[in-house]
Chains A and B, each alone.
Chain A
Amino acid sequence: MKTKKIDYGRWLLVLPALIVVGTLLVYPIFSSLYYSLTTKHLIKATYDFIGFDNYIKVLTDPDFFKAFLTSILWTVASLLGQIVVGFTAALALNRVNHLKGVYRILMIIPWAFPSIVIALAWKWILNGVSGFLPNLLYEMGVASELPQFLSDSSLVFGTLIFINIWFGAPMIMVNVLSALQTIPQDQYEAAQIDGASKLQQFMYITVPHIKVVVGLLVVLRTIWVFNNFDIIYLITGGGPANATTTVPIYAYNMGWGTKLLGRSSAVTVLLLAFLLIVCFIYFKIIGKWEKEDK
C-alpha cells in the first residue's frame, strides 16, 4: 500500500512569507480588534474589557463624523483631481515622440519626493509671512493682503487637496501611459478609415483598453488617499480648528494625544470596515467590466 508522503520542503519555503504576513498583517488587525474592546491606555500597565463602549463613544462623537466627512471629501476631491490631471498628462505624453523618457521623469518628480520634503517645501512656499506664493500674489496685486493658504479655513482644505493632486497625479500618469502604450495602433487606423471622430476613438478604443487599469488604480488610490496621514499632519496637523482633521489624524490624536489606545483602535476598526465595503463595491464594478470585455 502506498502512503502519501508529506512534502515538508514546500512548507519550509513558504514559512518566511507566512511569518511576515502573520507578523505584519494579521497580528496588527487582531490586536486592534482586541484592544478596541478594552480600556487599553498608552502608558498604563493594566486595562479592562469594556465590550463595545469604545465604539459607542466614537460613534456618538461629533468630531468623528466631522473627520469622516472630511476624509470622504479629501478622498473624492483628491482622487478626481489626480485622475483628471494624471489622465490628461498621460494622453499628452503619449503623443510626444521626442524625449518622452525625459518628460516622464520630470513629471514623476513630485511622486519621488519623501512626504516630509513635500510638506516642508509647501509650508515654506505658502508661509503666510514670508512664503513665496503669498508674497508674489500680493506684490502682483492679485491679493490685497497676504493670502493665508494654511490658516484661512476657507483656503486650507483646498490647498491641501491641490498639494495632494500635485503629489499623486504622476503615479496615475505613469500607469495610464503604460496602458495607453499597449493599445494596438491598427485599431486607431481602422477607426480612422471607418471615419470615427477623435472623441469616438477615445470612447470606443482608448477607454475600454485602459478602464481596468484605471479601475485598479482607483481602488489603490482610494485606500492610500483615505488613509493618508503624513502630508496633512505635517502641513497643518489637522488644523486650524480641525478643519483638515481626517479619520487617520483623529485616530492618531486619540491614541497618541489622549493616549486612549482602545478608543483609537475602535476608530481604526471602523475605518477598516468602511474601506472593505468600498473595495467590495469597486471590485464588483471592475468584475463587471472584465465580464463585458470577454
Chain B
Amino acid sequence: MRKKTLSVLLTALMVASMAAGCGKDSGGAGGSSENDGELKGDITFWHSFTQGGRMDVIQEAAEKFMDENPDVNITIETFSWGDFYTKWTTGLASGNVPDMSTALPGHVVEMMDAEAVIPVDDVIDDIGRDRFAEAALSEGERDGECYSLPLYSHAQVMWYRKDLLEEANLEVPETWEEFAEAAKTLTKDGVYGCSFPCGSGDLMATRFLNFYVRSGGGSLLTDDLKADLTSDIAIEGINYWLDIYENCSPKDSVNYAVLDQANLYYQGKTAFDFNSGFHISGVETNSPDLVDSIDCAPLPRLKKDDPIYGAETSNIPMVIWSKSEHPEICKAFIETLYEEETYTDFLAATPVGMLPSITGISDTEKYQSNEIVQKFSNAEQVISEAVELSAAIGFEHGPSVEAGLLTSQSIIEEMFQDIITNGTDVEKAAKAAEEKMNEVFESVQ
C-alpha cells in the first residue's frame, strides 16, 4: 500500500512539473566594468541577421573591434525575428537580456515602456544626427530622447514577374482592381497570381490588410489608439483579400508565415508578391534563372489618380539595454558599424534589400558599383521612395505599444482564418477581432 502511495505521489509530482511553467534562468553581462580610458569588458550582442552575408560582416566588424580593443570581448548570438521577440520578452522577466541588440520598431516602444533600453543620443550625434531621417529617429524617441538608431531601412512594395505579365499582355497593375484582375488571369499552369498568407504566429495578413487600408487613407488604429477593423475601408480590405485568397492563392496559405510566402515567389510559383528588396537575393539564391524576370512597383492604389503612397517602412533599429554593464563599449562598437567601409559591406550583403539609413552612403562609388544595385536601380528607387512615404504599421499615429501589439498578436490572422475556415460573417469576425485586440491593448495600460 505504501509503495502504491509513493508511486502515486511520484507520478503526481512528475505530472505537476510537466504542467507547471518553466523555471527562470539567470544571466547577464560578465567581465570587468573597469574603464580607465581604454575599453574593457565583455558584451553580448543579439541580432537577427540570420543570413550568411550579413552575419559575416557583423562578425568581422566585431573581430576588428576586438583586435583594436584587446580587453573587449563581444559575444554574438543570432535569432530569427520570431524567436528574438520571445527571447527578449522572456529574457526581460528573468534578467537574461543582452548588452546590445537589433530590434523591430514595435519592439522598441515596448522596450522603452519597460525601461529596458537607454538613450543613444550621444551615438547619434557622433555619427551625425542630420545624416539620419527624422522620421526614422522619431520611431525610437520619447520625451526628447532617442532610445534607438536605425541600422538600415526598407519598405514594402509590389513585386511582379515581368515575363508572365508580358506573356499575358498585361500592364503592371496600378490599382487594386487591376491587381486582382491580373492575379486572377495569371493563376494557371501551376502558378498562383498572388498568395494571401494568414498563418498565425506572423503578421502577414495584418501587413496585407494594412496595404489596402493605407491606400484609402485609413489606418488599423484610431486616433486614440484603439483597433479599427470595422471601418468601411477595413471591411472592404478584408473582402478584397478574401477574394484574392479564393481565386488566386494556394489554399495552404491560410497557414503561411513570411518565409512560406516568400518561398513561393522565390520558386516562381507566384506572379505577384509584396515584400522589400530582400526578394532579389531570395530569387537569386533559389531560382537564379528568374532574377532577370522580376521587378517591383509601388503598392497598388484605390484609384489611378490617387497619389503614390507607402504603407510600411521598416527602419531596423539598434538598442542598448539598461542592464548592460558596458554601455560605453556598445556605443563605441555601434559607431564602428556606421563607418563607410563596414556599413557599405554590410548593405552589400543584401543589396537593395537593406537601404542605408544614413546619408552619404548611397552615392558613394563603392555602393553604386554593386552589380545588383545597378541591375535593380528601378527597384531601389521605388523602395527608396516608399521608405520616405511611410512608417511601421500603426506608426502613422506615432510610435505606440498598440502599434506593436497590432502586429505581434496574430489577431488579424486568426480573424481571416476564422472567416476562411469556419465561414464566419466578415463583419462579425472583424468586430470580434477588434474587441479582442482592444482587450489586449487594455491589458498593457
Chain B 9-29: CB-based contact to A (< 8 A → 1; otherwise 0)? 001111111111111000000
Q: Assess whether B417 is interfacial by the CB under 8 Å rule.
A: yes
Other-chain contact of B23, A28, A42, A240, A271 (Cβ < 8 Å)? A28
User: Are B19 and A272 touching (Cβ within 8 A)?
Assistant: yes
A221: Cβ under 8 A from any B Cβ? no
Which residues of chain A are within 8 angstroms of B251 by Cβ–Cβ distance?
128, 146, 148, 151-152
Which of B19, B201, B253, B443 interacts with A275 by CB under 8 Å?
B19
A283 engages B422 (CB within 8 Å): no
Taking a contact as CB atoms closer than 8 A, the residue among A238, A241, A242, A258 that contacts B443 in the complex is A258
Is A223 an interface residue when CB atoms closer than 8 A count as contact? yes
**Residues 238 to 294 of chain A near chain B (Cβ within 8 Å):** 238-243, 255-261, 264-265, 268-269, 271-272, 275-276, 279-280, 283, 287, 290
- Docked Cα-Cα span, A243 to B22, in Å, equals 26
- Contact of B281 with A by CB under 8 A: no
Pick the interface stretch among A19-27, A89-97, A199-207.
Answer: A19-27
Q: How far is the CA of A257 from the CA of B14 in the complex (A)?
A: 26
Q: Given A129-B250, A129-B269, are A223 and B8 neighbors across the interface (CB < 8 Å)?
A: no
Distance A243 CA – B200 CA, assembled complex (angstroms): 12
Q: Does A190 contact B (CB under 8 A)?
A: no
Question: In the complex, how many angstroms separate the beta carbon of A111 from the nearest chain B beta carbon?
Answer: 18
> Do A279 and B8 have beta carbons less than 8 Å apart?
yes
B277 within 8 A of A: no
A268 near B20 (CB under 8 angstroms)? yes
Question: What are 30 A-to-B residue pairs whose CB atoms are below 8 Å?
Answer: A23-B23, A24-B23, A25-B13, A42-B90, A42-B93, A44-B114, A44-B444, A129-B250, A146-B251, A148-B252, A151-B251, A151-B252, A223-B11, A223-B18, A227-B19, A239-B199, A239-B254, A240-B254, A241-B417, A256-B86, A256-B89, A259-B443, A259-B444, A265-B21, A269-B19, A269-B20, A272-B15, A275-B15, A279-B11, A283-B7
Binding site for A on B (CB under 8 A): 4, 7-8, 11-23, 86, 89-90, 92-93, 110, 113-116, 192, 199-201, 250-255, 264, 267, 269, 408-410, 414, 417-418, 420-422, 440, 443-444
Given A24-B23, A151-B253, A237-B200, 16 additional A-B pairs, CB 8 A: A45-B115, A129-B250, A129-B269, A153-B422, A223-B11, A224-B18, A237-B201, A239-B199, A240-B421, A256-B90, A259-B89, A271-B19, A276-B12, A283-B4, A287-B4, A290-B4
Closest 3 A-B residue pairs measured CB to CB? A128-B252, A272-B19, A241-B421
Using CB atoms and an 8 Å cutoff, list the residues of chain A in contact with chain B: 21, 23-25, 27-29, 31-32, 35, 41-45, 127-130, 146, 148, 150-153, 219, 223-224, 227, 236-243, 255-261, 264-265, 268-269, 271-272, 275-276, 279-280, 283, 287, 290
